[in-house]
Amino acid sequence: MNAPVIHNRRDILRYAAAGGALVIAAPIASRVRAQRDGSPFPTPWFEGPVGGFVAINPDETVTIAFPNPEMGQGVDTSLPMLLAEELEVDFDRVSTVQMPLEIMRGEDGEMTWKYAPQGSGGSYSIPGHYEGLRQAGALARTLLISAAAAQFGVPASELVAARGVVRHEASGKKASYGELAAAAASIEPPAEAPALKPQSEFRLIGTPQKMKNARAIVTGEATFGIDAEKPGMLYAVMSRCPYFDGTAKSVDDSAARKVSGVVDIVKIEGPGPTGPYDVQAEGYAVVATSLWAAMKGRRALQIEWNTGPYAEESSGSFKRQCAELLEGTGQIVRDDGDFDAAFANAAETYEATYWQPYVSHAPLEPQNCLADVTEDGVEIIAPTQMPSGASRIVAAALGVDREKIKILPTRLGGGFGRRLSNDYVAEAALISKAVKAPVKLIWTRDDDLQHDFYRPSGMHQLKAGFDADGNLVAWTHRLASASKYYRRPNLPESDYWQAELYPDDFPSQFVNNVRLEYFSARSGAPRGSWRAPAHTANAFVVQSFLDEIAEGRGEDPLALRLRLLGEARELPYEQHGGPVFNPGRLAECLRVAAEKGGYGEKMPAGRGRGIAGHFTFGGYCAQVVDVETDDQGGLRVTKVVAAVDIGTVINPNGVAAQLESGVNDGLSTALRLAINIDGGRVTNANFDTYQLMKIADAPPVVETHIIDNGETPSGMGEMGLPPLAPALANAIFEATGKRIRSLPIADQLNS
Amino acid sequence: MPKLTINGQTVDYSGDPGMPLLWYLRDEQGLKGAKFGCGAGLCGACTVHVNGEARRSCVTPMAALEGASVTTIEGLSDGETLHPVQEAWLAEDVAQCGYCQTGQIMAVAALLETNANPSDGDIDESLTNICRCGTYYRLRKAVHRAAELKSGRAS
Ligand code: FES
Ligand code: FES
């Protein structure tokens, strides 16, 4: 936008007239609660002014920018709905666009959001923008009404705005937003943020809306990062050290340089053995005039690698390490009552050990970035969940002032947490700087699978004790894993557990004697946030273990869960998704899923129906999974019925889509996915050795039941995933009598 | 030197015969609807039609295309009138991130040419494109809807 920006006296609101269009860029001085430990984000990330912007064009069309990157979670529709609700426009006339990263230097000299926070992760887009974007819409509407009041010569209080038109009932006068836009743009905004509608008056929020940019997708016109181009652009691919923290021993690039089209070979230094990752691995970039030439050049590169400090690590050695750690005593991170005594005196005891492998994000669009580093500044076009992180990493890598770095996030071909890290952006910026030209860096699939920030792998040991009356009196969860909280500046190893065990999760607050114990394992595999991070592992083990207990006690698994959860009440929840956990809402999800899914009905031979529920990042979800097995060890999930309570729902169609996505992601991961390590490196290289699920394994029926109780909204990106694996494992037990304690399921039903 | 047609336009290709069609389409023809997901014929994101059949363009070398007729997603619709598969995709609101969807649509459009009304079993057997976002539930419904739309249009 080249329009002049007029700052008003309070500097809480900026707006600009551009070619007759009213452009509102309205940071509202509303603050959202700072995130606590356990959040996937650094603490300051969600603080600061919240806002958004809208352009009203003279032809009555409206363009709304969504601040957070769209990666399939539907923010290109749900976020603009928030603004459009208050603006009072027909949503059909709204088109939506991705906002570039908008940051500015604050009074304290630190960079701050110009309009609104702009990261996608932690299921936080909706809760993070629920107030601010509605306020931006209300502000725009107020200015349009003020313009109409001046034009009609009537008090603003007598005017009503609806469907893009401001009307004066008494005189019959009216004017459309398009007609009023230019005048509205020159009106001094009110000193106070306008009041928002009560929920009971919502007419757009809560209605099912289809994804705004769907037509561009089905015609192939949608532009992802990998599709970005600039004149004079060169292409790059990299050869990175495959060994964890390994280095290059020797390189012979003479043959690569002779490949037609190859322009240069650029060395990228590795990240150092302990500090935070900027780039993930040492390597060489082959820069060429075409992608194909760069790929051929890479094949011709001769590099010998040092195998690094983890050369002995394998999937098997890591598992043995975890098992050995569990033999000892770990770090006690929650200790209520006296677990040892209660367990020793319990009338019945249960114990089980579970295993989770490393898994990869594998978004279908491989990592890529177009970087253009010049004397004047830097332009980055990339699929990133965290554009501000891209800005920071480029500033650090190049030593450039962040105000000179422009970040244009594109639509992402999937994120799943992988693109919270911007290592590929740093690489592209370094390469562009070296060759003094715009460079498009593209990762291949083996690059992606072998240089991910994997979901942590770990071994979980659970024990529970019941008294003679059937009360749960003792509970322990002991976890040995390689935490994703490592290589972080100023974070001691004694805090690593915080990313992997959530101490307020069910059932810690429901047992008098509870102990959570963490063992920090050593591994060279890079780790990071993978959709619903530790909730995936913890829901699997806790919800599977409860089924084992119910089986042992001869109690109905649903009844056991419901009596442990108890009545609706507000319990404290310190981790991301808090500050409140209401077990009654989870119980209600379980009841609804059970009823709609026919849980408890007798199943024919070879079939099973399992249930599980979990609280994830402020949202409650329960699922009933139907499975059909055969005697060759095969299985097919035939139906999933889910109940979800995420408070006030913005777009029920989007909620269902995310639920379906979580179900399929959970199933795909449970069925076959594991990252394998051998000799200190990842051996999976493509989708033949990392077998993402295809339609043949996908449930033909997925039912979503939304419990909309008007509570504060949560997001929906992640909560549909954690219940799937345990509900499936519980269904498999009913069908076959076999307990799945280790993921993936792979061919376990065969043996 | 292969001579082929792309979305009805004749092109002469004189570059490296070993280069996969995908890169020719994306980087030389500016047709970016076919996507790169695996480069090994495993995901289907790069699916186009070669002589009417679904083909994974990342493993189709240019040398194999002498005289071939290639259709990409950009050539699937009839101007502004979408192909029934595209219509069905909009009606069922299939896409999430959307990255796999052009390949999915091309695969389904080709399937419906040989099997006008695929059963669920046919779908399971013949559609092997990966959707990482897990849109399979709506995708299946959209295939059935596309079959209906297409036969409705034809009759
Ligand atoms: S990119 Fe061609 S099949 Fe995956
Ligand atoms: S919609 Fe994202 S991969 Fe299919």
pLDDT of res. A23: 55
Q: How many CA atoms lie within 13 A of A84 on its CB side?
A: 30
Which tens digit of pLDDT belongs to each residue from A464-474?
999 999 999 99
Q: Does residue A341 share a domain with residue A375?
A: no
d(CA A358, CA A570): 34
Is the residue at A269 inside a domain?
yes
**The 3-state secondary structure of A406-426, one letter per residue:** EEEECECCCCCCHHHCCHHHH
Which of A2-16, A131-145, A186-200, A241-255 comes out lowest in average pLDDT?
Answer: A2-16
CA-B46 nearest atom, ligand 1: 2
Residue type, A269: E
Residue B91: CATH number of its domain: 1.10.150.120
A559 and A595 belong to one structural domain: yes
Taking CA atoms, A72 is separated from A29, A616, B130, in Å, by 29, 19, 15
Whether the ω angle into residue A579 lies within 30 degrees of 0, i.e. cis, is yes
Check if the beta carbon of residue A493 is closer than 8 Å to that of residue A484.
no
Q: Both A86 and A182 in a single domain?
A: yes
pLDDT digits (tens, 9 = 90+) for A609-662: 999 999 999 999 999 999 999 999 999 999 999 999 999 999 999 999 999 999
Q: Which two tokens stand for residue A473?
A: 């009196």
Largest CA distance in chain B: 45
Q: Which of A214, A665, A686 sits opposite B38 (nearest CB)?
A: A686
Beta bridge mates, A167: A160, A174
Classify A60 in phi/psi space as left (phi over 0), alpha (psi -120 to 50) or beta: left
Burial class (CB in 10 A: 0-12, 13-18, 19+), A192: exposed
Q: Which amino acid is at A657?
A: A
How far is residue A511 from each of residues A49, A349, A577, measured CA to CA in Å?
Answer: 41, 14, 21
Q: Mind listing the pLDDT tens digit for each residue in A683-699?
A: 999 999 999 999 999 99
- Domain of residue B17, CATH code: 3.10.20.30
Ligand 2: centre distance to CA A55 (Å): 30
Domain that holds residue A621: 329-359+454-750
d(CA A212, CA A42): 31
The 10s digit of each residue's pLDDT in A550-569 is 999 999 999 999 999 999 99
Write the residue in B31, B100, B120 that is nearest to A700 by C-beta. B120
Residues of B in contact with A694 (CB under 8 A): 127-130
According to DSSP, residue A156 is labeled: G
Mutation target among B81, B82, B136, B145 for the A interface, most CBs of A within 10 A: B136
Measured CA to CA in angstroms, residue A97 lies from A62, A94, A140, A202 at distances of: 11, 10, 18, 23
The pLDDT tens digits for A409-455 are: 999 999 999 999 999 999 999 999 999 999 999 999 999 999 999 99
Q: Examine the domain organization and report whether B9 and B69 are in the same domain.
A: yes
Which tokens hold the place of A188?
């001094």
* Apex B52 CA angle, B46 and B55, nearest 5: 25
Q: Is the pTM of this model over 0.90?
A: yes
Considering the domain architecture, whether residues A214 and A251 belong to the same structural domain is answered as: no
Cβ–Cβ under 8 Å, residues A213 and A76: yes
**Residue A106 clears pLDDT 80, i.e. is over it:** yes
Pair (B122, B98) in one structural domain: yes
Which of A211, A295, A364, A716 would you mutate first to test chain B, the one with the most B CBs within 10 A? A364
**DSSP code per residue over A580-648:** EE-HHHHHHHHHHHHHHHTTTPPPPTTEEEEEEEEEETTEEEEEEEEEEE-TTS-EEEEEEEEEEE-SS
Residues 6 or more apart whose CB falls under 8 angstroms from that of B80 comprise none
With beta carbons less than 8 A apart as the criterion, state whether A640 and A191 touch. no
ipTM: 0.98
Using a CB-CB cut-off of 8 Å, the residues of chain A touching B136 are 660, 664, 693, 695, 698
* Count of structural domains within chain A: 3
Please give the mean pLDDT across all residues of chain A: 91
CA distance A24 to A51: 10
3-state secondary structure of A436: coil
Please give the pLDDT value at position A28: 34
Q: Is B128 helix (H, G, I), strand (E, B) or coil?
A: coil
Choose one of B75, B109, B135: the last residue of a domain.
B75
Distance from residue A213's CA to the centre of ligand 1 (Å): 24
Domain boundary among B75, B97, B121: B75
What is the predicted pLDDT for the residue at A57? 76
B63 and B114 housed in the same domain? no
Q: Which residues of chain B have pLDDT under 70?
A: 154-155
Confidence of residue A276 (pLDDT cuts 50, 70, 90): confident
Q: Are residues B105 and B133 in the same domain?
A: yes
Chain B residues with beta carbon closer than 8 angstroms to that of A77: none
> Domain span at residue B58?
3-75
Q: How confident is the model at residue A515 (pLDDT cuts 50, 70, 90)?
A: very high
Q: Give DSSP secondary structure letters for B82-115.
A: --HHHHHHHHHT--SS-TTHHHHHHHHHHHHHH-
Domain final residue, candidates B75, B93, B119: B75
Task: Answer yes or no: is the C-beta of B98 below 6 A from any ligand 1 atom.
Answer: no
Tell whether B66 and B121 lie within a shared domain: no
Nearest to A88 by CA among A211, A201, A209: A201
CATH number of the domain where residue A267 is located: 3.30.365.10
- The ligand that comes nearest to the alpha carbon of residue B55 is 1
Residue A364 CA, closest ligand 2 atom number: 3
Beta pairing partners, A234: A439
User: Do residue B99 and residue A694 have CB atoms under 8 angstroms apart?
Assistant: no
How many domains is chain B partitioned into structurally? Answer: 2
The answer to whether A645 and A622 are in contact (CB under 8 A) is no
Residues A435 and A462 in one domain: no
| Cβ–Cβ < 8 Å for A621, A614 | yes
My answer on whether A368 and A353 are in the same domain is no
Question: Of A450, A485, A508, which marks where a domain is finished?
Answer: A450
Angle between helices B101-114 and B84-92 (to 10 degrees): 130
Three-state SS across A211-260?
Answer: CCCHHHHHCCCCCEHHHCCCCCCEEEEEEECCECCCEEEEEECHHHHHCC
For residues A698 and A721, membership in a common domain is answered with yes
Q: Is the distance from CB of A411 to CB of B32 less than 8 angstroms? A: no
Mean pLDDT of A363-389: 98
Tell me, yes or no, whether B47 and B96 share the same domain.
Answer: no
Kindly report, residue by residue over A49-70, the tens digit of the pLDDT: 223 478 887 788 888 889 999 9
Return the pLDDT at A425.
98
SS3 A509: helix
- Mark whether A289 and A376 lie in a shared domain: yes
- On whether both A567 and A605 belong to a single domain, the answer is yes
The pLDDT of residue A22 is: 57
Distance CA B108, CA A690 (A): 24
